[in-house]
Structure 1
Amino acid sequence: MFPNDIEHLTSHRSFMNVPTRRGANEAPALACVIGIPFDCGTHPFRVGSREGPDAIRRQSHLLRPFFVDAAGAHANAVDFLRLIDLGNVNCHPGEIEKSYPLIESAIDAIIAASAVPISMGGDGAVTLPQLRAVAKHHPDFVVLHIDAHTDTYAIEGFNTATTFTRAAEEKLLDVERSFHVGARGTTFMDGVLGFGRSLGYNVIPFSEFDADPRACIERIRQRIGTRPVYLCFDMDIFDPSCAPGVCTPEWGGLNAKEGLALLRALAGLNFVAFDVNTVSPAQDIGETTAFLAATVMHECCALAAQTPRLAATRHAS
């Protein structure tokens, strides 16, 4: 079934012009890009992150495969990973009951083929079905959620505000070793940080991270250890001055240099899945946010290449 025959995918121009399949006589892909063009369609005036994957792909063609400063990693992580782009899940925007099984099935197939999924949304609601797929293969996994919002609210239903509430209720992950990092700005209800903590999550608000990033990263590393890690990276962690095209912008976030440095500081964790979401092209300026998201995804490729199990394949080859 994998990698060329996953159901419910649409055709596309690939991320960074990587191949869309591996040949019959070629070694299999170690990682796969996949687009998830879904949003709930319920935001009062910022609907459009369903268009995020295509915008990210367009801007990815500005990227080149070699890192000038590989920081001990592969200079060309894309080549090492034998990266392919599987296209977009054929979602039904606004229809969770139809879309979630399709998303879960696609991510499940990638992981079953021993590859790392690197997905691009879509709004924050696309994360829950991906967590369900990861849980089938890594029952002890943890989440590292980097976002201006916790997406862990004490409300009913399935939407961008309840992704990690439902994940905790479904016991998909080890909440006590999982982190929400970066919450800031305003929200529509009180007590969201406390509620996240009451479910067992480690919550590091932006003010705490900003005061001492190095100490926070060390705390994350110590707590997570060698556990399988799902990295959920919401583009609104960046300040709107460098990432205006997001669903729910909040002033006072990371600049591009700081955000990319944060990603590089996570090298060596046992990543098993990556999820970059919330690019909303309708509100973007010159596809600046899409270009930054493509760069984040390229950094995720570098992180995947540095996971201990994949680094071992480099030494064995």
Structure 2
Amino acid sequence: MSGNIGPVDAGRVPRYVGPATFARLPRIDQVGRADVIVLGIPFDSGVSFRPGARFGPAAIREASRLLRPYHPGLDVEPFAAAQVVDGGDLAVNPFDIAAAIDTVTREAGALAGDAALVVLGGDHTLSLPLLRATAARHGPVALLHFDAHLDTWDSYFGVPYTHGTPFRRAVEEGLLDTDALCHVGIRGPLYAKADLDNDARFGFGIVTSADVMRLGVDAVVARLRERVGDRPLYVSVDIDVLDPAHAPGTGTPEAGGMTSRELLEILRGLRGTRLVGGDVMEVAPAYDHAGITATAAAHVAYDLVSLLALTPRAGAAPTTGT
């Protein structure tokens, strides 16, 4: 019997009752330690098209009420295998992107301690400070980036920190192992062919959404596992990697995306890799229909938590409330 504190018992308290912590898990201040912390960062000042991802963490938590303690696809009870908690939300400056990045870099790392973070965004600008915090602990990490877009552009309107630039900045700052980088789900028009040339120069491989369709999930998983090897791995998921039929509630939708089934099965294929953290970004509930996008994002976060619960850990430090 695990000594971990798990979700509220749905057989005693209906799922629609009580605070919407992720998967109805305890808050960080209700436990003495944590192995995995689910953290919200409601920030979307780095978006270039439709805003609203600042409301993503709340929507994902609400959708996560239906998650259950056993994951049959990975054959694990993640909340028994690890102490998973909801770390609440970081309060960051909505008017100053640089200040927000500094806050996330500092506070995410301090909050995590020896635990792993699964972050609910928020826009993709946030992945840069999260990678800073991760690399400070593990050194340069392998990255699997699930997205419709490359997010390796240099700037927008002269601004170097936006949701389209985090992985270029991460390469420039030495946060990533450039022998172990791959985008998954890329599609849609670009500004120029040079975008692809620059991206390749940074070390990224690309698996397009069409590749997923033609090759199949198993072949894609094999390719990704070969690329990341046994390096510490960070997984970043922009929910617009999914087709708008599966994720309409996002700021920059592109036709021709992956299905939610394909995304989840690829994630499950990463079992046994050295996953050290991850994020789920760009859920914008104002454009969502019937919670489709938030539901998909909640399941993505649940799969990341489950993979982390299966990853051997040296142990977690005591946590403190926020």
| TM bin (shorter chain) | 0.7 to 0.9
The corresponding residue for 1:9 is: none
The corresponding residue for 1:185 is: 188
User: Does the aligned pair in 2 maintain the 1:193–1:203 contact within 8 Å?
Assistant: no
User: Does the aligned pair in 2 maintain the 1:50–1:93 contact within 8 Å?
Assistant: no
The correspondence for 1:207, drawn from 206, 210, 226, is: 210
The corresponding residue for 2:110 is: 109
Alignment partners' CA distance in 1, 2:270 and 2:88? 27
The verdict on how the C-alpha distance between 1:94 and 1:43 changes in structure 2, with shifts beyond 3 A counting, is farther
Q: Secondary structure at the match of 1:84?
A: strand
The corresponding residue for 1:194 is: 197
The corresponding residue for 2:319 is: none
Q: Please state how far the C-alpha of 1:197 moved relative to its aligned partner.
A: 0.4
Q: Is 1:32 the equivalent of 2:37?
A: yes
Q: If the length of structure 1 is used for normalisation, what is the TM-score?
A: 0.87
Alignment partners' CA distance in 1, 2:124 and 2:209? 18
Alignment partners' CA distance in 2, 1:211 and 1:310? 40
Q: Which amino acid aligns with 1:280?
A: A
Aligned residues: CA RMSD: 2.0
Q: Please state how far the C-alpha of 1:182 moved relative to its aligned partner.
A: 1.4
> Please, which runs of 5 or more residues in structure 1 have no aligned partner?
1-11, 312-317
* Per-residue Cα deviation, 1:32-76 (whole angstroms, up to 9, x for no partner): 0000111125534x1100110011111111222222x243x31x2
The verdict on how the C-alpha distance between 1:287 and 1:23 changes in structure 2, with shifts beyond 3 A counting, is closer
Alignment length (residue pairs): 293
Q: Secondary structure at the match of 1:245?
A: coil
Q: Please state how far the C-alpha of 1:286 moved relative to its aligned partner.
A: 1.9
User: Does the aligned pair in 2 maintain the 1:177–1:224 contact within 8 Å?
Assistant: yes
Q: Is 1:264 the equivalent of 2:268?
A: yes
Q: Which amino acid aligns with 2:70?
A: F
The correspondence for 2:249, drawn from 245, 249, 252, is: 245
Identify which of structures 1 and 2 has the higher relative contact order when contacts are C-alpha pairs closer than 8 Å and 6+ apart. 2
* Per-residue Cα deviation, 1:234-281 (whole angstroms, up to 9, x for no partner): 111111111100111111111122221111111111010111101001
The corresponding residue for 2:172 is: 169
User: Does the aligned pair in 2 maintain the 1:148–1:236 contact within 8 Å?
Assistant: yes
Q: If the length of structure 2 is used for normalisation, what is the TM-score?
A: 0.85
TM alignment of 1:67-82, pairs within 5 A: 67=71, 69-71=72-74, 73-74=75-76, 76-82=77-83
Q: Is 1:64 the equivalent of 2:65?
A: no
User: Does the aligned pair in 1 maintain the 2:264–2:300 contact within 8 Å?
Assistant: yes
Q: Secondary structure at the match of 2:244?
A: coil
Alignment partners' CA distance in 1, 2:246 and 2:106? 34
Q: Secondary structure at the match of 1:182?
A: strand
The corresponding residue for 1:6 is: none
Give the fraction of aligned pairs with identical amino acids, expressed as a percent.
36
TM alignment of 1:1-317, pairs within 5 A: 13-21=20-28, 26=32, 28-40=33-45, 42-44=47-49, 46-67=50-71, 69-71=72-74, 73-74=75-76, 76-111=77-112, 113-155=113-155, 157-212=160-215, 213-309=217-313
User: Does the aligned pair in 2 maintain the 1:142–1:173 contact within 8 Å?
Assistant: yes
User: Does the aligned pair in 1 maintain the 2:212–2:258 contact within 8 Å?
Assistant: no
Alignment partners' CA distance in 1, 2:148 and 2:115? 29
Alignment partners' CA distance in 2, 1:41 and 1:62? 31
Q: Please state how far the C-alpha of 1:107 moved relative to its aligned partner.
A: 2.1
Q: Secondary structure at the match of 2:280?
A: strand
The corresponding residue for 1:5 is: none
Alignment partners' CA distance in 2, 1:21 and 1:48? 26
Q: Which amino acid aligns with 1:139?
A: G
Q: Secondary structure at the match of 1:137?
A: helix
